[in-house]
């Protein structure tokens, strides 16, 4: 063993005048090695401060013991909750979690995914960026049979495991709730319609209107990227309509908040004059005033499920694909309660 380098199984073998194979087997508790030998070997390993070289082991086993996770933005409560859930399960199962963010840019996402591919992650958990159009970078994983799990933002045309929430039911429930509260003109701020999540929320909205015999008015639906500014612009536009809405179902909490602030500044009362509901249950939605009604999405659980699913795929080579739809929960708060 060289001076400042780590001890290896060969050093242990030399010490005991046995072969490296025996050492390797002993350390892995292979039954072919006698108990006595195992004990001797483990004792020497400990005294030498031996630590297995995962890199070598990974190379030999063609397995990196690593799960990749790609999110649009790490620094967003919902996503960091999912990451937290993934880490929770993965760590216990002995996997490392490598993380990267696309910043909602297609180009960066492609770059990241290729990098994870090159680094041979054993599986990839991803929520795609808003910009995406082509998905060749993800099909790579399919071709090579590397487990791929979508969460929240999934790609319909790729058949693989998916953990999503019931966005349709969420959109439906929000709308029904607003109707129940007596709102008549319900607008909707929708996100990019290439993402199923936003499309389904809108579909739920439309369906609820239909079920209640309320005519669907296309001009009350605005599609944008749901930033804070988008919310303001959209509400400004809506309120300038000849027949402005008395309730707005916002595609996320960010726009719900900015819309609310805009309206408040205009002297419009919430929920009396206009009702507001968001989506995602961001931490702030509970503490602003009025507090924002919203749909809770179980981020941490999604992460846990995603990790469990991908680990089972990695380890069992289970061929069947599952789409797990987690339930959403409507949280009624002040912004939409005028009962």
Partner DNA sequence: CGGAGAGGTGCAATCGATTGCATATTAATT
Partner DNA sequence: AATTAATATGCAATCGATTGCACCTCTCCG
- Footprint of DNA on this chain (CB under 7 A)? 5-6, 8-10, 17-22, 24-25, 27-28, 32-34, 36-37, 50, 52-53, 56-57, 59-62
Q: Which does 96 bind (CB under 5 to 8 A by kind): DNA, a copy of itself, none?
A: a copy of itself
Smallest gap from residue 329 Cβ to DNA (A): 45
Alpha carbon distance 211, 76 (integer Å): 35
What are residue 143's phi and psi, to 5 degrees?
A: -55, -45
Q: Is 51 in the site for a copy of itself (CB under 8 A)?
A: yes
Smallest gap from residue 10 Cβ to DNA (A): 6
Q: Which does 214 bind (CB under 5 to 8 A by kind): a copy of itself, DNA, none?
A: none
Alpha carbon distance 238, 236 (integer Å): 6
Q: Which stretch binds a copy of itself (CB under 8 A): 18-26, 31-39, 118-126, 148-156?
A: 118-126
Residue 314: count other Cβ atoms within 10 Å of its Cβ.
Answer: 19
Site string for a copy of itself, 18-37 (x = CB under 8 A): --------------------
Nearer to a copy of itself, 135 or 300 (CB): 300
Q: Is 115 in the site for a copy of itself (CB under 8 A)?
A: yes
Nearer to a copy of itself, 135 or 284 (CB): 284
Contact yes or no for 247/276 (Cβ under 8 A): yes
Smallest gap from residue 198 Cβ to DNA (A): 41
Nearer to DNA, 6 or 236 (CB): 6
Smallest gap from residue 96 Cβ to DNA (A): 16
Alpha carbon distance 233, 202 (integer Å): 19
* Maximum separation of any 2 CA atoms in the chain, in Å: 91
Residue that has been written with the tokens 């959209």 in this structure: 234
For residue 329, the number of C-alpha atoms closer than 13 Å in the C-beta half-sphere is: 7
Number of residues interacting with a copy of itself: please give it, by CB under 8 A.
46
Q: Which of 99, 164, 196 is nearest to 299 (CA)?
A: 164
Site string for a copy of itself, 83-112 (x = CB under 8 A): xx--xx--x----xxxxxx----------x
Question: Sign of torsion, CA 68 72 74 79?
Answer: negative
**283: enclosing H helix or E strand:** helix 283-287
Tokens, residue 145: 């049979």
Question: Sign of torsion, CA 317 315 64 85?
Answer: positive
What are residue 249's phi and psi, to 5 degrees?
A: -95, 110
Q: Which stretch binds a copy of itself (CB under 8 A): 171-179, 284-292, 309-317, 327-335?
A: 284-292
Q: Which residues bind a copy of itself (CB under 8 A)?
A: 51-56, 58-59, 62, 64-66, 73-77, 80-81, 83-84, 87-88, 91, 96-101, 112, 115, 117-120, 257, 261, 282-284, 287-289, 299-300
């Amino acid at each position: 063993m060289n001076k400042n380098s780590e001890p290896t199984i060969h050093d242990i073998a030399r010490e005991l005048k046995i072969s490296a194979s025996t050492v390797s087997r002993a350390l892995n508790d292979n039954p072919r090695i006698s108990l006595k030998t195992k004990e001797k070997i483990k004792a020497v390993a400990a005294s030498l401060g031996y630590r297995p070289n995962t890199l070598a082991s990974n190379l030999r086993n063609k397995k990196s013991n690593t799960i990749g996770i790609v999110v649009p933005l790490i620094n967003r409560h919902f996503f960091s909750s999912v990451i937290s859930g993934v880490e929770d399960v993965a760590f216990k199962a002995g996997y490392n979690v490598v993380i990267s963010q696309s910043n909602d840019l297609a180009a960066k996402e492609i770059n990241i995914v290729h990098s994870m591919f090159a680094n041979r992650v054993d599986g990839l958990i991803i929520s795609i960026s808003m910009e995406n159009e082509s998905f060749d970078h993800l099909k790579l994983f399919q071709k090579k049979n590397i487990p791929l799990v979508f969460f929240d933002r999934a790609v319909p045309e790729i058949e693989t495991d998916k953990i999503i929430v019931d966005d349709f039911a969420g959109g439906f429930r929000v709308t029904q709730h607003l109707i129940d509260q007596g709102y008549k003109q319900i607008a909707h701020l929708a996100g990019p319609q290439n993402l199923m999540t936003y499309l389904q929320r809108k579909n739920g909205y439309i369906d609820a209107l239909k079920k209640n015999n309320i005519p669907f008015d296309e001009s009350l639906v605005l599609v944008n990227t749901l930033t804070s500014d988008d919310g303001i612009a959209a509400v400004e536009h809506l309120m300038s309509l000849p027949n402005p809405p008395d309730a707005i179902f916002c595609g996320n909490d960010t726009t719900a908040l900015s819309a609310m602030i805009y309206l408040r500044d205009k002297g419009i009362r919430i929920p009396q004059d206009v009702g507001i509901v968001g989506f995602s249950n961001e931490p702030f939605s509970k503490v602003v005033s009025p507090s924002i009604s919203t749909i809770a999405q179980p981020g941490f659980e999604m992460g846990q499920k995603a990790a469990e699913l991908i680990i089972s795929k990695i380890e069992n080579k289970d061929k069947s694909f599952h789409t797990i739809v987690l339930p959403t929960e409507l949280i009624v708060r002040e912004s939409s309660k005028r009962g």
